[in-house]
Amino acid sequence: MPSSPKLEATLPRVHIVRRGSVQVAKRFFLGRKGFRRTLLLSTFIVLVYYTFFKQSPRGEYDMQFMEETDEDIVQHTSQARRSHREARLEREREREWNSRIRPPMTRSDDGLVRVGDWDGRHPLFEVIATAEQGTELDFRPLTIGEAYEAYMTTYGRPPPSSYPEMFSILAPQCPIPSVSSLYLYKPLAPDLLRSYETSLEGSPMTITIIIRNGRAGGGAAEAEEGMHVARDISRHLMNILLEVGEYLPDLRFTLSVDFPRNPVPYKLREDMADLLRLGERFGISEAGDDDNGGNGVYNFRDWSEACAANDPVNKGVEIKEHPNNTVKFIHANRPLSPCRHPSLFTLSDYFSGPAPNFGVLVPVFAFSQTAINGDILLPRPDTSQTIPSKVPWGKKSPTLYWRGPASLGGSTDELVVPINRLMAMLDQRRNLASGKQHVLVPRSDDRFEVQNKRPFELLSTRVDLAFTSCGDRTGCDDMHERYRFVDVSETQWEQAKFVLDIESYSESTTSFRQLLLSGSLVLRSSLFQDFWVSQAKPWVHYIPIQPDFSDLPTILLFLEANDHIAKRIATAGQVLARECFGRSGIKAGLLAVLGEYGRMWNDGRSDGDMARPVR
């Protein structure tokens, strides 16, 4: 097909233009000034490129990727073609939105999580979710070989010879009993440990157990007021030791049956930690022959002696709260320390009296301890009836329930007793009930609003607290005018969705383990931790409440609005107690703790080591 005349006419022109452009370019770059022009043009191109096209896709972005999550990385990758300014503005908008959805919270090593004043999703959703995720990540050895290696990793030495039997009787889903309360005593040589233990024997409200050749003996001291409790505990403990004594080495130990006996001076605790770190032993020859065992420097003159010099209690101040903080919750699986929170010394009858002064690290066993005690924890064999759990969750009343004996306590101020203080807070006739406090009130969209309310305004219809008897030696006649009393036959723990486990020294108070078995959700407020509480997880198996009860209204309102969460935690606690805190759990705890203590008691410590399992 012949070409168009117009097209033929334009072809030479195009050719000339192209050829002319090449000639111009040659003259421009290859002429006398061509090198200088080439250098200037190259510099100009590089500046334009780095100014408009390479604004840190690998520099600044890479640092941001290291600080952000995988989800952020994927999101920023999809934005690679956008300008840097636009992507940065979008990230800032996302962070602002996320902060509105998720309230800012601060977790600190004092055991509290502090929530800022933010109108967003209720913070307890995240507190509970974080606790449950942590439980899922907990490692539980499934074989004795794994348990051996885990023990070596944690404590730096083989388990005691009683460990295989302990592992065999413990259900696979149950946590391994902790022996951490023993390691404060590891630097004590066997001769000094035995000397200090002998000085404890015969103390009021204690029992001494002797294990020799696999058989258990001993028991409570001679008749004394209240010693029927000690003898009852001694009998139950002996029955269990008859089943496991053959796996334990020879030893003897003294057990306090009422309250912790051994607050430890901070300097003594630090010195023991240094000796343990250096692998050294402290024996009778180092202790000396004076009355204080050579440790007069460790005299315990005041409760604050248990605290470090830079702790708030020794500075005379409380931890300064940020003005935006509206409410605090307990998140740690350990008791709050009065060293970090000085006001706690005034919120427990335990600290109202004079501090015991041993001057040495006496190896006293107990069923509970505070953050400043060095008592060795043992599982308590329950001697009372278990609460029935036949009432289904849907038929339980949505109230917080408690029954127990009344006591004026050992202080002139009866409100130092926690249950007295809580009941007074809920009595609008008392001056204690007049103050308002921040309360997070749930809304239907999972958010909350902050309100200033008096506790009795929110809790008066949601709690059922009453005394059933008098647990005080001096009598409680005048308490009837200020507190509610009911007949002991009216106790119906299993009828309530929420039951209160509160600090008390009465042997008739229902235990943490019994409350878990009831199938109700346990709300626990105490500065004490026992063997079972140390194995349970807050916000997973029970709900921790602060000793001043400032978080109680917020927590009760949240549980009431989220019944499915309350039921889930109650069920988890009941399953844990049923499968792990029964007779087999008590035997496992005794084998773990006494097996390790037996190694410390005898001169040949390595003779009590477990042999490495054959793979």
Query: Quick one: 205 and 72 in the same domain?
Result: no
Tell me the Cα Rg of the chain: 34
Query: Quick one: 223 and 364 in the same domain?
Result: yes
Query: Quick one: 250 and 365 in the same domain?
Result: yes
* Domain contains 590: no
Say yes or no to pLDDT of 96 above 70: no
Query: Quick one: 64 and 202 in the same domain?
Result: no
Domain boundary among 79, 103, 134: 79
Residue 511: pLDDT band (50, 70, 90) is confident
Query: Quick one: 242 and 362 in the same domain?
Result: yes
Where in the sequence is the domain holding 239, given as residue range(s)?
A: 169-174+178-300+356-378
* Domain contains 124: no
Query: Quick one: 185 and 43 in the same domain?
Result: no
**Residue 438 bridge partners (DSSP):** 452
Range in 124-138, 156-170, 178-192, 427-441 the model is least confident about: 427-441
The enclosing H or E element of 592 equals helix 583-601
Domain boundary among 60, 79, 98: 79
Distance CA 512, CA 184 (A): 26
Per DSSP, the residues of 437-497 read: EEEEEE-TTSBEEEEEE-HHHHHTTTEEEEEEEE--TT--GGGGGTS-B--GGG--GGGEE
Say yes or no to pLDDT of 258 above 50: yes
Query: Quick one: 188 and 62 in the same domain?
Result: no
Query: Quick one: 364 and 247 in the same domain?
Result: yes
Domain boundary among 79, 104, 129: 79
* Domain contains 404: no
Taking only the tens place, the pLDDT of each residue in 191-229 is: 999 999 998 888 888 899 999 998 988 876 554 555 677
* Domain contains 192: yes
Q: Which residue has the tokens 């452009």?
A: 21
* Domain contains 367: yes
Flag whether the pTM goes above 0.75. yes
Q: What is the pLDDT of residue 35?
A: 64
How many domains in the chain? 2
Query: Quick one: 366 and 231 in the same domain?
Result: yes
- State which of 226-230, 302-306, 473-477 shows the largest mean pLDDT: 302-306
Q: What is the pLDDT of residue 442?
A: 93
Q: What are phi and psi of 165, to 5 degrees?
A: -70, -40
Say yes or no to pLDDT of 240 above 90: yes
Taking only the tens place, the pLDDT of each residue in 14-43 is: 343 444 554 545 555 556 566 667 777 777
* Domain contains 477: no
Query: Quick one: 219 and 363 in the same domain?
Result: yes
Burial 175-195 (b: 16+ CB within 10 A, else e): bbbebebbebbbbbbbebbbb
* Domain contains 98: no
* Domain contains 70: yes
Look over the chain and give the mean of its residue pLDDT values, rounded to a whole number: 80
